[in-house]
């Protein structure tokens, strides 16, 4: 949260804590659900895509092949759905007190990053168990992750603001995210996509990022830099547009909520 001015840091950390502490309060397994959820998702998908439909998985167990993509994808999808609701669910606060409204979005995404980090522990265990070799190229995950966060934040700003005006956005988003996942190589490798359709994936920053994660974690290679650079550029533009759009609508939030 280095980019936040010191003034807002205590507030954002309290909002993140609220999100994390409150979520699984009245449940026995509590926060363990953050790990269990993607784990069971992975088990079922592995059954379907490696035993029923045989999808090639770059020479590693399908479970690992999938997890490397599924975890960042879940982070992306969860961040978007929760951010979209973040302004609406804080309507009472928005009407009462002023602080930059994007703090709600930032706090929501930060809480999802915490979830993601915990869920990733299973992936690390899997990789140790199956002895997947990694090398220094693994460090590429940090810039890739950074680009993903930028892209997510930019989109989340637009969606959160729009959802305050029209609640259709949150329902539409569920559908879009489902379709988007199939148009991103999460369940299957990029290599299975026929050449004439590859362009769809080049236009999709999430596809570029997911491929990059696989390349650096599973293959130990260097991600395709030109694609990554385009994804980075797209993400910066998304953040700029999102901020402009959000700030433009921010003045009427309290009136329409």
User: Site residues (CB under 8 A) for other proteins?
Assistant: 7, 10-11, 13-15, 17-18, 21-22, 25-26, 92-99, 251-255
Distance CA 65, CA 219 (A): 10
Longest dimension (CA), the chain: 57
Strand, helix or coil for residue 193: coil
Shortest Å distance, C-beta 28 to other proteins: 15
Distance CA 183, CA 196 (A): 14
Helices (H), 166-257: 168-182, 198-202, 205-214, 225-250, 253-256
Instruction: Considering the complex, state which of residue 9 and residue 202 has its C-beta at the smaller distance from other proteins.
Output: 9
In contact, 53 and 187? CB cutoff 8 Å: no
Nearest-5° Cα angle at 79, 170 to 50: 100
Instruction: Considering the complex, state which of residue 95 and residue 198 has its C-beta at the smaller distance from other proteins.
Output: 95
Instruction: Considering the complex, state which of residue 13 and residue 227 has its C-beta at the smaller distance from other proteins.
Output: 13
| Cβ atoms within 10 Å of 236's Cβ, excluding its own | 14
Instruction: Tell me the CA distances in angstroms from 119 to 36, 116, 133, one per residue in order.
Output: 8, 5, 20
Strand, helix or coil for residue 132: coil
Instruction: Considering the complex, state which of residue 88 and residue 254 has its C-beta at the smaller distance from other proteins.
Output: 254
Instruction: Considering the complex, state which of residue 138 and residue 168 has its C-beta at the smaller distance from other proteins.
Output: 168
Shortest Å distance, C-beta 105 to other proteins: 16
Shortest Å distance, C-beta 101 to other proteins: 10
> For the residues of 17-67, what is the DSSP string, one character each?
HHHHHHHTTT-SSGGGHHHHHHHHHHHHHHIIIIIIS----TTS-HHHHHH
Instruction: Considering the complex, state which of residue 25 and residue 131 has its C-beta at the smaller distance from other proteins.
Output: 25
Shortest Å distance, C-beta 97 to other proteins: 5
Shortest Å distance, C-beta 172 to other proteins: 13
Shortest Å distance, C-beta 57 to other proteins: 41
Instruction: Considering the complex, state which of residue 8 and residue 245 has its C-beta at the smaller distance from other proteins.
Output: 8
Shortest Å distance, C-beta 248 to other proteins: 12
* Tokens standing for residue 150: 């930028």
């Amino acid at each position: 949260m280095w980019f936040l001015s010191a003034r807002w840091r205590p507030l954002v950390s309290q909002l993140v804590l609220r999100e994390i502490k409150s979520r699984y309060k009245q449940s026995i397994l509590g926060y363990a659900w953050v790990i269990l959820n993607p784990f069971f998702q992975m088990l079922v998908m592995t059954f379907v895509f490696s035993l029923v439909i045989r999808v090639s998985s770059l020479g590693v167990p399908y479970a690992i092949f999938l997890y490397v993509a599924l975890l960042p994808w879940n982070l992306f999808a969860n961040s978007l759905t929760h951010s979209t609701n973040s302004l609406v669910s804080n309507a009472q606060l928005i009407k009462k007190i002023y602080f930059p409204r994007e703090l709600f979005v930032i706090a929501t995404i930060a809480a999802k990053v915490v979830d993601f980090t915990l869920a990733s522990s299973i992936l690390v265990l899997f990789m140790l168990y199956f002895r997947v070799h990694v090398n220094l190229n693994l460090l590429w995950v940090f810039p890739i992750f950074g680009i993903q966060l930028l892209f997510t934040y930019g989109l989340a700003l637009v969606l959160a603001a729009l959802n305050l005006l029209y609640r259709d956005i949150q329902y539409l988003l569920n559908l879009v995210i489902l379709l988007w996942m199939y148009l991103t190589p999460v369940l299957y490798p990029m290599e299975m996509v026929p050449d004439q359709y590859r362009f769809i994936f080049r236009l999709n920053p999430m596809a570029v990022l997911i491929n990059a994660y696989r390349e650096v974690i599973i293959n130990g290679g260097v991600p395709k830099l030109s694609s990554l650079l385009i994804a980075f550029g797209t993400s910066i533009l998304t953040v700029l547009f999102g901020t402009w759009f959000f700030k433009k609508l921010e003045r009427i939030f309290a009136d329409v909520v």
